[in-house]
Structure 1
């Protein structure tokens, strides 16, 4: 992390310096060209004026004009002889010349005049050197500021990131030591790091919830398996000790088979829940007609309802297509109907309804007129192996509604439990 932040800071500084150089280079180039062009134009204007004077009044008048103009003494009128540094060819030249014992770097313009005369004009270029040095100093200062900001910014970024890494390490260490309640500290304001922290904390909440669920499930499995296994052992031990008649022996064998089936049913339900929770079944989603699934489930349980004297009614608003797993949906609807049959009143009514909400969600609701579920128990009956006081006298292991809730979640929905006045209304909402 240290080297990553350092590389980031150095990269920022390098890019900033390159951008600064790309910005300054055209300015410097334009400045030098403008100054050179201005010098040349000024010298050419002065040369033309002197050539006109020479043409009208002659060489003597031109010499007098040069000596009389104080502005020219620094460059032209004070040279005792032709400078050795100046080229003999006509045009513009840049050379260092000796003027009164002082070396001056000048721009020289050489023109020939009629009669074998030579006109040499020059201007000192050092008058703009101070301005150019100020420009260079400013450029160096800007580069220094960019470098300093890059170093300071990199240090601040490194400090911030390492602080977050330290918090993550502390949280991970606490969780590895068994403290699943430890969370990353959050800070005020909205930024990317806080968003990441909130996401990580939600992930840790989910992990804690899942681990707590595994603990509860493990305890529930041990409790629920102990009873049928104890009954099985008792039956077999009794048969082994008492050596009863064949009829009683076969009866005990049938009871033992029922206990084994109960254990197998628990494991099958857990395997189905594990498969649903893993999400592997989503890869096999196809287009499903929810109305057909609900109708077939109601028809399957119709004979059982008739034996109990319960009216099982199905109603639908029409075809309801969605992407889903038909086997899981059929099992979920079947579990809801099976629960309703367990608690429905004698000569009561169970209603299975299939419809679509305005938001596009498919709704399958199963209503009964039984005792219902108290409000304080509604959230808990969706937990695995939980059985309320009213359900302890009925067969089952407390996994039916948990499986339905898992199927709803895999289809992007939820299972809602509400009062039917009297009874319970279980609503399976599917969004896939």
Structure 2
């Protein structure tokens, strides 16, 4: 029996779907970068008070505890859309994608766990003994921002093989979901059971409707919004509602409609509708309101980076992510006797692990939850996240550019379609990967 392959080629339908997702995420990464740069320019301009006033403008019904600032609406409301799409994506991967095979799922899940543990450990080691609640930020450097990572890939023109891109996408989605678990468990205070019980009822009704393949937006959207509002009122971070709603949506068609072979299910339908909203609007707007830190020149930047919290974030993103993901992947190879695909080398895994050190959206969110939006430590968190992500991007660019000629050759081989049937020849020769 042949040894299992790490980063082996998957199926053609999955490769085509992943390529479509990555194209949209790359566009989202460009918008995310633009929003971040605009926020940094405005926050460090003579008109910085206008930026702060806009971010802190409050509106919403007070009786429902929804009198939030624009920054809070972006973090609590718009990011719920982002996590709804992440929930849809993860469920689809494990129910109908290549990752329904436990052997394929084990690698990105194990790498994601390793990529969360190592940065957290490094942050704790650098901040132990500092006091003043610094350790509350242990989870900040644990998440990968897939949109930013793919934007970097687009800039360096890397023809990264499909298997590595799929791994990066799945790893980022898994650690986003793990981050939501961390937020729900460690950043929930003053839990209110009554709104939580009502949220369970509305979520249950939403689940029943989508399981019956109801697509009527005038039924589903109000239920989703009410569920979000009740979760927010319960004291649990409202983005958790987005994940739960995503998990409720069925992936395959019902048997009466032809089952899995009858085409895309409701989850894919919702993903096509909401991913553009998530990548094109929700995440960039959140970035705009969260990334605007007043650096205060080189002296201010130096002061921020001398803070052990910022140092822990930079070290966690740059070193922890690389160590955690690479070590977990190597351990999978060593202890399962799986061999790296012959077209790749371990330097490819190392470069990919460095690329996963680009943290942004979830890191900034956790920083706000840990230290309070607008606090001095939250400002240092932003500096640490931006600096760590930039360093990780530069290092990954150096490594991956060195291998770009090899990636281009693999890309050409994977794309060759000599018989003109729309399916690359390599997938017909080895349809199961």
State the TM-score bracket (shorter-chain normalisation): under 0.3
Higher RCO by CA contacts (8 Å cutoff, separation 6 or greater): 2
Report the structure, 1 or 2, having the larger helix content. Answer: 2
More strand by share: 1
TM-score (norm 2): 0.20
TM-score, normalization by structure 1: 0.21
